[in-house]
Structure 1
Amino acid sequence: MTAISGKARPIVISGGSGFIGCNLAQSYLAAGEDVVILDNLSRPGVDRNLAWLREAYGARVHPLVADIRDLRAIEPALADAKAVFHLAAQTAVTTSLRQPFEDFEVNARGTLNVLEAVRRGGRWVPVIFASTNKVYGALEDLEMVALEDRYVPAAEDVRRHGIGEERPLSFCTPYGCSKGVADQYVLDYAASYGIPTAVLRMSCIYGPRQFGTEDQGWVAHFLIRALSGAPISIFGDGKQVRDVLHVADAVAAYRALLERIPQVNGQTFNLGGGVENAVSLRMVLEEIRDITGRDPAVEWNDWRPGDQHYFVADTRRLQRQLGWKANTGWRDGLRQLAKWLREERGLGRTTQQERLTA
C-alpha cells in the first residue's frame, strides 16, 4: 500500500476495485479525500477499475492488494481509517451452492475480520456494510399475480411500497446464509462494542464500470450479451421482478449513511430503485431491443434455487431519515450503461434512436 502523507485519515473501501466500490471511491476522491482500495483483484475486470482510479487521482488512491480472509494483512489498512465501507464479498448464489465453504469464509469470516480489525484499532470508526435482499429468503409466502410480462404481489401494500425492513429474515442458499450472518454481525458490533455501523440491504444495482456475468450483475450482463450479439440465458419464465437502481443513486445512499451515522447507528435500510423502477426481466429485454434495434437472442432455462419471483425494496425509511431518493429512471439508466459499454468496451453500434435520446 502506498504511504499516506501527513495526518490524513483515509476512507477505506473493501472491494474498492469492484463495480460499486470504484464508483464510491471515485465520489470521495473527487471530493478531495484519500481512499484506500482494499481488494484482492480476483474478479475479472476489476483491475481496470483500479487503473482508472489511479490514472484519474494518482497519489490519493492507495491500493492494498489483500484478502479480507487474512486478518493480519488487512489490519494496517484499517488502522488509521476515517470510515470503512465493506463491500468485498462473494456475490453469486450459484457459486455459493458449488463452494459453500469458500462462500462462508469470504462473506461471514471476512466480515468478522473487518469488524475485528476496526475493534482492535480502538477508535470510533464507522463501518457501512453492503448486504443483500437475499437475507429475506425466497419470499415464497407472498401471493403473486402473473401478468403477461411480470409478477405483481396480490397484497396491495406490498404492491404500492415494496418489501420493508420489518420483513422477517429468512436465510436460504449458502449465499443468503453467509451474507445474513455478516449482516447480523455488523449490527451486533454496534450493540456489543459501540462501533457505529449501518447496513444497506441492496436490490439490483447497475451502471458504468460494471462487468456483469450470468451469475451476478444481470442488467449489465444482458446488455453486454445483446451488444455482442450473444444469446441471453433466462432462468425461469422471465416475469420475475426486481427494482433496479443506478449506481450513482446507490453511492448517494452510502455517502448519506456515513454523513448521518450518529443518527442511523445500528440500523438497516433496504436500498433499491423502489416501485418506480420495478422491472421484470422481460421488460428489460424489451428495452434492450429498443436500444440495440434488434431482438436479443434468449435461451430459456429452469428456475434457480432461491430465486425470488418478486423483490422491490420499500425505500421509505431511507427517504424519511436521510432525504434520499432514486433520481435516475431505469430506461435512462439502461441507455447510459449501453453508451458506456460501447465507448469503454467497443460493444455494438449506436442506433439512430439512441443518438437522438442520448
Structure 2
Amino acid sequence: MTGAATDKPLLIVGGAGFIGANLADSVLAEGGRVTVIDTLARPGVERNLAWLRQRHGDRVRHLKADVRDGPALETAVAEARGIVHLAAQVAVTTSLADPLEDFSVNAAGTLALLETVRRVNPLAPLVFASTNKVYGDLGDLAMREGAEAYEPVDAEVRANGVSETRPLSFHTPYGCSKGVADQYVLDYARSFGLRTAVMRMSCIYGPRQFGTEDQGWVAHFLIRALRGEPITIFGDGKQVRDILHVSDAVAAYRAALEGIDAVRGRVFNLGGGPANAVSLRAVLDTIEALAGPLRLDRSAWRTGDQLYFVADTRRLEAALGWRARTDWRAGLADLARWLETQDFLRGGARAPRETTERRLTA
C-alpha cells in the first residue's frame, strides 16, 4: 500500500496477543501506525501491549473493546488501511466447557466485525486467522505408526501435507465456531465484494507467546521445562504438527494484506509445511537439549486431537511468494532465549538435572 493509505493505521483485532503483538511490532518498526483492539482478558497479553508502547510510543493506539461490539469498533474500522482479525476464544477445552460463549466470540464476533467493515470501510482488506481444526480429526486419513511419530499412508499427503481441497469437517465446538467464521469471511468476498482472505493456521510459536496447556503448546512445554515443572503429554506424544515461527506467520499476513486483490475470497493453509513437521516427542527431545532433563506426565487423548497435521502451503507460496524460512530447531532456540529473559519464569525452580524420566513409553 502506498501514498495516503500508508498514513492510516493497520487495525489488529486481538492485537495484544502473541501473533498480533509481533505483527504490530513489525509494522511499527517500519514507521507505520497500528490500532490494537484487545480486551486484555488473556493472561500475559498486557505485557505485550506495554512492550509495544515502550518501543513505539503513541504510534500504537489501544482500544479496549470486544469484537462482538460492532458499534464500538466503527471509528477504528473506518480509519483503518487494513484489518487483521486475530481475536478469538482459542482453546478446544474451553469450547467444550462453554460452547455458547465460544460461538459468541468466534462466530458471532467475526460476523459483527464483517458487518462493521461492510458498512463503514468496505474497501479495507481483511485477513482472518482461521485454524486447521476446520478439517476435523482427519480420522479417515489412513495412518501408520512409527517408533516416534505417525505418518500418512498416502504418499502425496506424506510428501506435501494436507491441502485446502480437503473437505471441511468441524469437530468440537471450537472447530465449529472457527469454521463458521472462516466461511463467513469467504462468503463476504463473494456476496458483498469485500477484500477478505483466510489463513488456516497450524501451530505458531515464538517470542511473546505465553503458552498454556490448552493453547500455545510449544511455548508451554518450554516454559514448564525452564521452570523445572512437569509437562503433561496427552496421548502417546507421537502426534505430528508442522510448527511455524511467528516471524514467518507475520510475513504471511503482511503479504496477504499487500496482495489482497490477488487473493481476495481465497483460503490458505499457513504452517511450517513438511520441512518443519515434527512429533511432540521430537520437540521434547530438542527442549531437553536446551533446558535440561524433563519431567513428563501422561494423560488420556483429547477430544478431536489429530494424529497428524502438516499444512500443504504450496497454494500460499504460489500466490504470494511466501515460504517458511525459520527451521524449527533454530526457532525453538530463539523462543528459549526470549523466555529466559522474562521475569515470569522466576515463579518456578529448575528441577535437579538427575531427577527425570526422559522418555514416554508406548
| Alpha-carbon distance change, 151 to 126 in structure 1, aligned in 2, over 3 angstroms | same
1:105 maps to 2:107: no
CA distance in 2, matches of 1:271, 1:7: 26
Specify the SS of the correspondent of 1:299. Answer: strand
- In the TM superposition, 1:19-58 aligns within 5 A as 19-58=18-57
One of 319, 322, 327 as aligned partner of 1:324: 322
Counterpart residue number, 1:66: 65
1:310 maps to 2:308: yes
Structure 1 portions without partners, runs of 5+: 1-5, 350-358
CA distance in 2, matches of 1:7, 1:234: 45
Equivalent position amino acid for 1:164 in 2: S
CA distance in 2, matches of 1:346, 1:175: 29
Contact 2:239/2:306 (CA < 8 Å) preserved in 1? yes
Bigger Cα displacement from structure 2, 174-183 vs 24-33: 24-33
Specify the SS of the correspondent of 2:199. Answer: strand
RMSD between superposed Cα atoms in Å: 1.3
CA distance in 2, matches of 1:122, 1:33: 19
Equivalent position amino acid for 1:273 in 2: G
Structure 2 portions without partners, runs of 5+: 351-362
For residue 346 of structure 1, report the CA deviation from its aligned partner.
6.5
1:52-91 CA distance string (max 9 Å, x none): 0001100110100001121222222111110000000000
Counterpart residue number, 2:289: 290
Counterpart residue number, 2:331: 333
Counterpart residue number, 1:185: 184
- In the TM superposition, 1:85-124 aligns within 5 A as 85-124=84-123
Specify the SS of the correspondent of 2:163. Answer: coil
Counterpart residue number, 2:210: 211
For residue 152 of structure 1, report the CA deviation from its aligned partner.
0.6
1:17 maps to 2:16: yes
Equivalent position amino acid for 1:143 in 2: A
1:299 maps to 2:294: no
Specify the SS of the correspondent of 1:91. Answer: coil
Equivalent position amino acid for 2:197 in 1: A
Count of residue correspondences: 343
Contact 2:77/2:121 (CA < 8 Å) preserved in 1? no
CA distance in 2, matches of 1:266, 1:124: 13
Equivalent position amino acid for 1:145 in 2: R
Counterpart residue number, 1:253: 252
Counterpart residue number, 2:359: none
1:77 maps to 2:48: no
Specify the SS of the correspondent of 2:79. Answer: coil
CA distance in 2, matches of 1:123, 1:167: 30
Equivalent position amino acid for 2:286 in 1: E
Counterpart residue number, 1:221: 220
1:246-267 CA distance string (max 9 Å, x none): 0000000001101110010100
CA distance in 2, matches of 1:195, 1:318: 20
Counterpart residue number, 1:3: none
Contact 2:8/2:33 (CA < 8 Å) preserved in 1? yes
Specify the SS of the correspondent of 1:343. Answer: coil
| Alpha-carbon distance change, 161 to 116 in structure 1, aligned in 2, over 3 angstroms | same
Specify the SS of the correspondent of 1:257. Answer: helix
For residue 9 of structure 1, report the CA deviation from its aligned partner.
1.6
Equivalent position amino acid for 1:331 in 2: R
Percent of matched pairs sharing the same residue: 63
Equivalent position amino acid for 1:30 in 2: A
For residue 345 of structure 1, report the CA deviation from its aligned partner.
3.3
Equivalent position amino acid for 1:265 in 2: R
Equivalent position amino acid for 2:114 in 1: L
- In the TM superposition, 1:138-287 aligns within 5 A as 138-287=137-286
Equivalent position amino acid for 2:312 in 1: D
CA distance in 2, matches of 1:7, 1:300: 50
For normalisation by structure 1, the TM-score amounts to 0.94
For residue 122 of structure 1, report the CA deviation from its aligned partner.
4.5
For residue 7 of structure 1, report the CA deviation from its aligned partner.
9.9
CA distance in 1, matches of 2:343, 2:255: 32
Specify the SS of the correspondent of 2:340. Answer: helix
For residue 32 of structure 1, report the CA deviation from its aligned partner.
1.3
Equivalent position amino acid for 1:317 in 2: R
CA distance in 2, matches of 1:8, 1:263: 23
CA distance in 1, matches of 2:68, 2:192: 21
Equivalent position amino acid for 1:210 in 2: Q
1:157-193 CA distance string (max 9 Å, x none): 0000000000000001000000000000000000111
1:183-223 CA distance string (max 9 Å, x none): 00000000111110000000000000000000000000000
